[in-house]
Structure 1
Amino acid sequence: MSELHAEPDQYIYIVDDDEALRDSLVWMLESSGYAVAAFDSAESFLEAWRPDMTGCLVLDVRMPGMSGLELFEELGRRHCALPVIFITGHGDVPMAVSALKRGAVDFIEKPFNDAEMRRLVEQCLEQERNGRSRRRTEADIARRLEHLTQREREVLHLIVAGKLNKQIADVLGISIKTVEVHRARVMEKMGAHSLAELVQHVVAVEPVASR
């Protein structure tokens, strides 16, 4: 058995109308040390869903009522960040492949191997952890950007554009000494220890900052 890397607040959410398969998955994953929550329908999962859920979702493609694909699409509309593994029968593979193109992590065919399911779950949990960490970093950088003055923002954009201090001074009509002061404040406020780190920070949040 591979080493378990789930964080305490990460759950594997299983959504499947097949009680026997659902119970089997719960037993296998819980015995492997994971925290698991199971649902017998897409509708019951939607009722329980919260934006702050962490972990991953194991979702049957074909269920009565709302299908797994319909749930997947609804969660996408709600900007749900849970990675999704689809469980499919042989005839459902084309639908699962279509879901991959829309952002699902992977699919696994019935009957599936427990070790393969654990591997996919680990992959999803790592992806979700990394995504959360990235979003926290981006939010922190965005907050730092908000604390820059207008002049500091101008200097920052010119730095990121690759301008030297003398060029920035010429563009803004200020002295090189003043540019140096602004540059030092920008580095401090952005929490950057090098030019490369500063550029990485700005590039990371550019889509966020431009909204």
Structure 2
Amino acid sequence: MTEQARTIFIVDDDPSFLRGIERLLRSCGYATRCYESALDFAADHSPDAVGCVLADLRMPEMDGIALQRHLAKSSNPLPIVFLTGAGDIPTSVEAMRGGAEDFLVKTAAKEAIIDAVERALARDEEERRERRRRRALDKDCEKLTPREREVLRYVLKGLRNKQIAHEMAIDERSVKRHRTNLMAKLGVSSVAELVQFAVEAGLSQPE
């Protein structure tokens, strides 16, 4: 599947400002899509969308913070930059704690807006790459049989083959076979690489 082009999704209930910021971004070479309400954007938000969101803070029905929370819960949490005419310190703190890339006033300089957009786009690319990597790790883990998973847990605890055989009530040769198979499936060739894979895949070690 071909990945969609990077797009700046602009959400603001002020039509004149919406068109103005759209012209600014388009003049700088960005693709844009405009929405006059957060609800309209939320209804149209695609799991395949690539880019970032540039949103007002105070909007009817669903405000910017509510939109931010909605994005955070979605399968495609695009980075958000708040560009508002009615910011305050408590709200800006809440927005930044919620993961906003930046919080700017609408009178901010063009350079500041473009800088925030570029950082948000870079963040989206990095987070998208990380999600792809995690999906690949999860897919590799799904290849393991229950026995191989059990051996893996004991290996991560630092047990030797003989100890694992005792814990699982099987012979040491079977442990070696399971261990060889699971390492081949996970694409690792040493215990160090196996531990690194487990850390990256978020596999917890049993008590």
What TM-score comes out, normalization by structure 1 length? 0.81
The letter for the 2-side match of 1:205 is: A
Match for residue 71 of structure 2? 75
Q: Helix, strand or coil: the match of 1:118? A: helix
Which one of the candidate residues 38, 45, 60 is aligned to 1:42?
38
The letter for the 2-side match of 1:186 is: L
Which one of the candidate residues 111, 120, 125 is aligned to 2:121?
125
Q: 1:52 aligned to 2:54?
A: no
Q: Deviations over 1:135-192 (max 9, x none)?
A: 2222222222222122211111112222233332333344444333222211111122
Farther-moved stretch of structure 1 (16-25 vs 152-161): 16-25
Residue 86 of structure 1, CA deviation: 0.9
The letter for the 1-side match of 2:39 is: E
Q: 1:29 aligned to 2:18?
A: no
Q: C-alpha separation between the residues in 2 aligned to 1:93 and 1:40?
A: 25
Matches within 5 A, 1:19-168: 19-89=15-85, 91-168=87-164
Q: C-alpha separation between the residues in 2 aligned to 1:86 and 1:165?
A: 55
Residue 46 of structure 1, CA deviation: 2.1
Q: Deviations over 1:37-67 (max 9, x none)?
A: 1112212212311222221111100123432
Q: Helix, strand or coil: the match of 2:49? A: coil
Report the number of matched residues: 202
Q: Helix, strand or coil: the match of 1:37? A: strand
Q: In the alignment, is the contact (CA less than 8 A) between 1:83 and 1:128 conserved in 2? A: yes
Q: In the alignment, is the contact (CA less than 8 A) between 1:13 and 1:37 conserved in 2? A: yes
Q: In the alignment, is the contact (CA less than 8 A) between 1:88 and 1:96 conserved in 2? A: no
Q: Helix, strand or coil: the match of 1:44? A: helix
Q: C-alpha separation between the residues in 2 aligned to 1:193 and 1:49?
A: 42
Q: 1:203 aligned to 2:199?
A: yes
Q: Percent identity?
A: 38
The letter for the 2-side match of 1:17 is: D
Identify if the C-alpha distance between structure 1 residues 196 and 38 changes in structure 2 by more than 3 Å, giving closer, same or farther. farther
Q: Helix, strand or coil: the match of 1:14? A: strand
Match for residue 13 of structure 1? 9
Q: In the alignment, is the contact (CA less than 8 A) between 2:68 and 2:98 conserved in 1? A: no
Match for residue 4 of structure 1? none
